[in-house]
Chains A and B, each alone.
Chain A
Amino acid sequence: MRQSVLLKVATQSILKNKLRTFLTMLGIVIGVAAVIVMVAVGYGAQESIQKQIGSLGTNMIMIMPGASTAGGVNQGAATFNRLTPADFEKLQRESLLLSAVSPVVFTTAQAISGQGNWRTRINGVSTQYQQIRDWPVDQGTFFTEADVRSARKVAVLGATVAKNLYPNGDAVGQQIQIRDVPFTVAGVLRPKGQNAGGMDADDIILVPYTTAQSRLSGRQRVGQIIGSASSPQDVPAAQEEIRGILRESHKLGESEEDDFTIRNQDEIAAAASSATQVMTLLLAAIASISLLVGGIGIMNIMLVSVTERTREIGIRMAIGARGSDVLTQFLVESVAISVIGGIIGVLLGLAGAALLGHFTGWTTVTPPEAIVIAVGFSAAVGVFFGFYPARQAAALNPIQALRYE
């Protein structure tokens, strides 16, 4: 039987029972729409995390103290801190592939100004931190090499801190107190928004690491060293170079494992996205269950339809339709229902994702392949659940089918 005729026969019988077809289709529509919305939410989360990680800096490499494994037992990073300012200075001196490097001394403290007070993170860094994090100042200036060398009490405020300490603006040149130590505000950083962990990146004060060590933390250790490779291609080589320099600095023997962990931005991004990928997959899997239920609905209706149309099948067979003709006819019908349902579901899903994004403020992204897969999958549902009823129809005995009332 010709394709155009098959399609016409399928459309005819689909249109014959509009309400029933619509209800059957609804199962698929809801299933596909649910999958699309869930995937859009998952991909949106993934994309916003990637964007945040991208905003960390350029070609960034992070060095954390502690081995990721020690004697085969995973200790996690930062088990014991063995990064020192000497490591940083050695890196700065000897590394050829790093264009910038900065230690990060972490501490948290209450900052007090004449207009307010605010508890925030205080990071002791070098001047190159700015370049690594790609984070310029909006007002005033960053502190200078001389400030670092002399451990001067100067601070650069994140936008959130500036807003809380100086609600009226004009923070530059003012005095703030951190742990009873007076600091002069040199500048205010440009707002960066949320960081990868969902925290406010602008809720921070940057001070020279030398000052942080001597005045605030009182420790010689460095929490982290971050660097920036000259180009994206140099990142892996730079990581190897850092490893060599630090092993030398820590005087590690051949058989000893690294007592530090080096990560680059891509690895951080990969770790974050694998988590959201699992979430996306889980959401999509739950949503596909409704697609499965829709498929069972199709099968149910097709079985009813075959019974109802037994006589029609008998007529077709008497005038020369082969079993395969009847099989194809019913299969085309169920696939048509599921594909049309799938397309409507995609449109509804896209609209749903856009609405959800609009009302919740979440980023929603629908990858085009998700649409193709959703429609393809609904076609597969049509074939799978339509096959059994279609085979029932094809296996009918024409004599009995003709006699069926």
Chain B
Amino acid sequence: MNAVAENSAAAEAPVVIRVEGVTKVYQMGRNEVHALRGITLSVRRGEMLAIMGHSGSGKSTLMNVLGCLDTPTAGTYDLDGVRVNGLSKNELADLRNQKLGFVFQGFNLLARTSALENVELPMLYDRSGRRRDTRALARKSLERVGLGERLDHHPSELSGGQQQRVAIARALVTEPTVLLADEPTGNLDSRTSIEIMALFQELNEQGITILVVTHEPDIACYARRIVEVRDGRILRDEPLTNRRSAADDLRALAVEAT
């Protein structure tokens, strides 16, 4: 399959994430907790990264820093040419709005709000006002993740996999530089998990940069590159040679079932 083939063009693509010597220290009462102890990482456009690690490894903190939800104690972070260190809360909010798309483990959709309105939401917070027809864009984004038929459904009327697709549509609608997925399959059964990973692979084929944080090797194996974090440091950072195709796995599952 083509999707599994190494994307050689990525090697020359521009760097969208550059993290250098980033540390994060939390003050917990009288104790200092070193969540990150010097992380250096760069991601080029079009890559698909799996950030792996056990709980307490610092991968969540790294995710928060990369997601501009938190700022590093030391070190520098550049996102798409913007130095994130020292930005105000409002500037961070705008940066999240314009350059990042989030997908969470718990889907995090607004309840009692239709799929379409959920996807529309990030555009409503866009201060540049560059997108006029937010409705149409939201619809297009939902169609892109295969939910064109369920625009007016509320999250409670959708399955877990469908909810996660809505979340992905919401993350994609602003055409972010990077899509950050934090344990995106943690609340899904294995088959749906593979479906979601197939969607990520498909989107990555279309050129979208994706970072998936996971502790499951079964999920990480769909990425192009694996970064393993332990005790706040990067233990391993290497391209995946035997990358799996989620679409192929799905097909295999279908055959097994019959």
Contact = CB atoms under 8 A, between A and B. Distances in A.
Q: Do A and B come from one complex?
A: yes
Interface of A: 1-2, 5, 12, 16, 311-312, 314-325, 398-399, 402
A1 B125 contact: yes
Contacts of A316: 121, 125
B108 A311 contact: yes
Interface of B: 64, 67, 69-70, 89-90, 93-94, 96-98, 102, 104, 108-110, 112-113, 121-122, 124-126, 170
Given A320-B94, A323-B90, A398-B69, A1 B113 contact: no
Nearest to A317: B93
A325 B110 CA distance: 16
Given A325-B125, A402-B108, 8 more contacts: A12-B112, A316-B121, A318-B102, A320-B97, A320-B126, A322-B93, A322-B94, A402-B69
A230 to B, nearest CB: 70
Contact of A319 (B90, B102, B113): B102
Given A5-B124, A325-B125, A320 B108 contact: no
Nearest to B95: A320
Contact of A318 (B69, B109, B113, B126): B69
B56 to A, nearest CB: 15
A402 B183 CA distance: 14
B124 A16 contact: no
12 contacts: A1-B124, A12-B113, A315-B109, A319-B96, A319-B102, A319-B125, A319-B170, A320-B98, A320-B125, A321-B97, A402-B69, A402-B104
B93 A2 contact: no
Contacts of A325: 125
Contact of A322 (B67, B70, B90): B90
Contacts of A317: 93
A15 to B, nearest CB: 9
B221 to A, nearest CB: 27
A321 B93 contact: yes
B134 to A, nearest CB: 9
A170 B32 CA distance: 108
A325 B90 CA distance: 10
A304 to B, nearest CB: 17
A79 to B, nearest CB: 75
